[in-house]
Amino acid sequence: MNVQPDVSFINYLKGAGGDTLKKCYQCATCSVRCPLSSDEKPFPRKEMIWAGWGVKENLLADPDVFLCHNCGDCSTYCPRGAKPAETLGAIRAYAYTHYGWPAGLAKLATSAKNLPMLIGIPALLTFVFWLLSGAMGFPTKEEFATYGYTHFFGHWEFKWYAKNIFFIVLLTLPPLALALFSLYKGLTNLWKAMAAEANIASTYRPSVIQFTTQFLWPATVEIFKHNRFKECTTNTDRVRGHLPLMLAFVGLFIVTSWSLVKQDILGLIWPSLHGPLPLTDPFKILANISAIALIFGTWVLWSSRSKSESEGKTSRTFYDWFLLWMIMAVGVTGLGAQVLRWINLVEVGYITYFAHLVTVVMLFLYLPYTKLAHIAYRTTAMAFERFRESSFAKPAIEQPLKM
Ligand code: SF4
Ligand code: SF4
């Protein structure tokens, strides 16, 4: 193997949690202890070798980097304190920036020193839309009690489409569309890199239906069941936090989708559907339960991370904490805004709601570049894991690599 080390990459890893990388003396204890590693394709020892050599391209095309669930078993049992789990985390963070698009935005989301801009851009966007709506200001207590936040961006007499919904869609849809496009580009490039690294020719492509039913769907089901997470032996708290957090996102996705259908489609036929949901509405109940699950799950992960850092098992990184802060902010501002509405505190409620919109835009806008991107990258790697063992890939492996 002709090794061409990328020194700047090694330095990046050292500064992003892989500072103990050079302590590794290749004993392979980590690969033996890793509950997710297989005898045929063991990890993370090989990743530790590659990281030490600085062979960036191999690591960026390595599905095992994304198959790792960051449980920390390997770091706990490493006799040299080399923290392989941290190194893999740092490689994943690098990969999200590498595959992210546009490159400038991807780079912006990697450093704590950019925080003023990371918060400032969504805050400015929300402020500008509030200004443009012509509704900037606070309602009376009576108006607030009647309409809640459904007149935040104002109200017009055009009964087919509520002004508030129009502005919320205008504010949130472009960041979400950008994030989805960025993920599409990133995941396509990751797949190509993984296929090239595994020497799989593109001759035997599955159809969309085959890909979905044979690879993507089984991977998604496995993720939902948390089977791999449950194999962790040292940090079981992570399942207690990750599961409610994931279910909270699913719940909020259902509520948001229903809200869009109700307001944007059904509302065109029955304009009376515009307006705040009553507390007893099943979707409102689901939204509130999801918000509580979101805060609870984040809090468990937050506590687990803090404990692990204070015990010296993991390093403190912007990559980990930025996501925890962002999700906690979404949950607290969302639930807080609702409580403030119940007790009819107009000004604080409106400011909290403004902050909630900012955090939602942040979550959408930075989705492909932060730790949240693991939702898409890990699912893709798990689908690829099945693909490379399938008949679509096997005949191609024996063939010369096609470029
Ligand atoms: S990271 Fe630790 S356990 Fe793994 S090979 Fe290196 S020294 Fe051994
Ligand atoms: S963090 Fe857990 S899943 Fe990842 S390599 Fe280490 S032991 Fe395996």
The phi, psi pair for 155, rounded to 5°, reads -145, 140
% pLDDT > 70, the chain: 95
> Confidence band (pLDDT; 50, 70, 90) for 194?
very high
Query: Secondary structure of the chain: what % helix, strand, coil (to 5)?
Result: 70, 0, 30
CA of 215 to the centre of ligand 2 (A): 22
Distance 23 CA to ligand 1 centre (A): 8
79 Cα to the center of ligand 1, angstroms = 7
pLDDT given at position 190: 97
- Residue 22 belongs to some domain of the structure: yes
Is the bond leading into 368 cis (omega within 30 degrees of zero)? no
The number of beta carbons lying within 10 Å of the beta carbon of residue 8 is 10
Higher-confidence position of 355 and 224: 355
Q: Are 201 and 401 in contact (CB under 8 A)?
A: yes
How many residues belong to the chain? 403
255: region left, alpha or beta (phi > 0 left; psi from -120 to 50 alpha): alpha
Angle between helices 84-99 and 45-53 (to 10 degrees): 60
* Assigned domain for 127 exists: yes
Q: 43 with 28: CB under 8 angstroms?
A: no
Q: Point out the least confidently predicted range of 59-68, 154-163, 172-181, 252-261.
A: 154-163
Residue 84 alpha carbon, nearest atom of ligand 2: 6
- Contacts of residue 120, defined as CB under 8 A and 6 or more positions apart, other chains included, come to none
Any residues with CB less than 8 A from the CB of 166 and at least 6 apart, and which?
153
**Same domain? 70 vs 118:** no
Are 78 and 111 in a shared domain? no
Count of domains forming the chain: 2
- pLDDT band for position 379 (cuts 50, 70, 90): very high
Residues 212 and 302 in one domain: yes
Letter for the amino acid at 318?
F
pLDDT score at 401: 44
Report the pLDDT averaged over residues 238-253.
90
d(CA 85, CA 44): 8
Mean pLDDT of the chain: 89
Instruction: Note the pLDDT of residue 402.
Output: 43
Most confidently modeled range among 171-175, 222-226, 260-264: 171-175
**Final residue in a domain of this structure, among 99, 116, 146:** 99
- 129-141 average pLDDT score: 95
Q: How far apart are CA 403 and CA 391, in angstroms?
A: 21
How many Cα atoms within 13 Å fall on the side-chain side of residue 165? Answer: 21
By alpha-carbon position, which residue is closest to atom 6 of ligand 1? 24
The band of 286, judged by pLDDT with boundaries at 50, 70 and 90, is very high
Residue 380, pLDDT above cutoff 70 = yes
CB of 32 closer than 6 A to ligand 1?
A: no
Query: Mean pLDDT: which of 20-24, 267-271, 383-387 is highest?
Result: 383-387
Q: What is the pLDDT of residues 202-236, one digit of tens each?
A: 777 888 999 999 999 999 999 988 888 777 777 67
* Host domain of residue 32: 7-99
CB distance 73 to 314 below 8 Å: no
Q: How confident is the model at residue 7 (pLDDT cuts 50, 70, 90)?
A: confident
Q: Which of 255, 304, 359 is nearest to 70 (CA)?
A: 304
Residue 395 lies in a domain: no
Whether 402 is in a domain gets the answer no
Q: Which of 3-12, 88-97, 100-109, 312-321 has the lowest mean pLDDT?
A: 3-12
Q: Do 265 and 147 belong together in one domain?
A: yes
pLDDT higher than threshold 70 for residue 189: yes
Residue 189 inside a domain? The answer is yes
Distance 58 CA to ligand 1 centre (A): 19
Residue 392, pLDDT > 90, answer no
Given a cut of 70, whether residue 297 has pLDDT beyond it is yes
Average pLDDT over residues 238-255: 90
On whether both 140 and 217 belong to a single domain, the answer is: yes
CA distance 12 to 312: 20
Query: Whose C-alpha lies nearest to ligand 2, atom 3?
Result: 68
